[in-house]
Amino acid sequence: MRRPALVLTVGVFLLTSLSVGQWGPDIRLTNDGSASRLGYNNARNLAAGGETLHVVWSDTRDGNEEIYYKRSNNAGRDWQADVRLSNATGSSWYPAVAATGNDVHVIWKDDRTGTRLIYHRCSTDGGQSWSETQCLSDTLILTGNPALAATERAVHLVCHRFDNEVNRICYRRSEDRGSTWSSPLELSPDSISSWIASIAVSGADVHVVWSSDQDGDQEVYYRRSTDHGESWGEGVRITSDTAPSVNVAVASTGTDVHIVWQYVCTPGQSHLRHAVSTDRGTTWQASAQLTTVPTQWMRPTIAASGGFVHIVTNLCRPSEELYYWLSTDRGSSWEPEYVLTPDDSATSICPFIALSVPIVHVVWEEYRDGNSEIYYKQNPNGSSGIGEIGAKGASHTRRPASAVRAVLQLRQTQAAELLDISGRRVMDLCPGENDVRHLAPGVYFVRTERGAKAGRVLIVR
């Protein structure tokens, strides 16, 4: 006699556990008596390309602050020795990294000349060797908080530069792997200060966000290019709040653009908010608040692949720990927050997240060793390449996972396919009953042949 399927609520509970509960142990990446520091959340200190991971940070082990690099060639299981990238009499800090194919680009802020300028180095062999250091600041104007994004076509840089008492968002690109760069282009207004831009690319689309008080309160603004950065649309105001919106970060996947930021509702207290565009930044859905209790949520970082969206931030009060949010439906709904570093005795700050589907990678600063060191951890099955993608622009809530034993009932009239969490097809499905007893227990996705949607199924024993 066929055993009945588990009740739906059990399926939802198990799915949540599978989604966020598979994080591995903390791995210490740096080990010296000095301070090792990551940068601002607008940039990325961690990049992933296949099984190769790239991490950059600043370190005072040599007396002054210098930029260091480390990589893993097997998805974070083992890590190679530290490589020092900067060597100057001044301080070097706030690095950022981007990778595409075998190319790895690193930029940072450096005051070797007495003025804070942006410098760049490139590796064309996956981080084994590096080009000479190159200054990317066109004049001796104070520049800072750089961020990078890269595709095979171009490398894209944003930063702010301070001139005539005004911070402006500046953009440059390189189409020859970082050898030469376009002239600086100012994306923000001339007369109003703007701060800390973040950048993401998807195909020919380049997305830039920043915060500015050009309309009174400090709000989030957005501009895009649809031709690899050659031309730019007008700026768009994303937020309209009565309190500052700051520390913004952006990620893109396909036609989806995701923004997360810190909404400072009262001095010393903030919420995290998220907004999404499903049409390449043309229109934006109303923002959603991820947090329920206002406290000091700080510097969120975001990554996305398919319908899966990942956010990590640190909570400064009452203890400084890392929190993680997951959406599997393009940001329409979110799993409950998950504590990545549940240790009240140690300070965990400045997280950065990257994806090499289905693995989710996170690095952060940790003070458990008496000084700040860089730590890493991963979720090996945290980001399927599928997600539950409905109609374009649809506002929908999550469909709960169906829990089944032995037989999967396909009620629709057309055939479908069953995918595992990495997006690999494991079997074809026919209308009616499908025997799934040969499959391992876990989360799977049912996708129609037309690819219109992917629904989750939990196979149990």
Summarised one tens digit per residue, pLDDT across range 76-118 is: 999 999 999 999 888 999 999 999 999 999 999 999 888 889 9
DSSP state of 295: B
Mean pLDDT of 304-316: 92
Mean pLDDT of 304-326: 89
Distant-in-sequence contacts of 409-413, Cβ < 8 A, 24+ apart: 409/433, 409/434, 410/434, 410/446, 412/448
Cα–Cα distance, 367 to 336 (Å, whole number): 26
Check whether 394 has a pLDDT greater than 60.
no
Mean pLDDT of 258-276: 94
Predicted local confidence at residue 411, as pLDDT:
67
Check whether 198 has a pLDDT greater than 80.
yes
Percent of the chain whose predicted confidence (pLDDT) is above 90? 59
Predicted local confidence at residue 218, as pLDDT:
92
The string of pLDDT tens digits covering residues 321-355 is: 999 999 999 999 999 889 999 876 789 999 999 99
Question: pLDDT-derived band of residue 3, with 50, 70 and 90 as boundaries?
Answer: very low
Question: pLDDT-derived band of residue 382, with 50, 70 and 90 as boundaries?
Answer: confident
Percent of the chain whose predicted confidence (pLDDT) is above 70? 86
* Helix %, strand %, coil % of the chain (to 5): 5, 50, 50
CB 225 within 8 A of CB 245: no
- The angle formed by the CA atoms of residues 222, 225 and 227, to the nearest 5 degrees, is 170
Q: Which domains does the chain have, with CATH numbers?
A: 23-379 (2.120.10.10), 396-459 (2.60.40)
Residue 228 exposed, middle or buried by CB count within 10 Å (0-12, 13-18, 19+)? middle
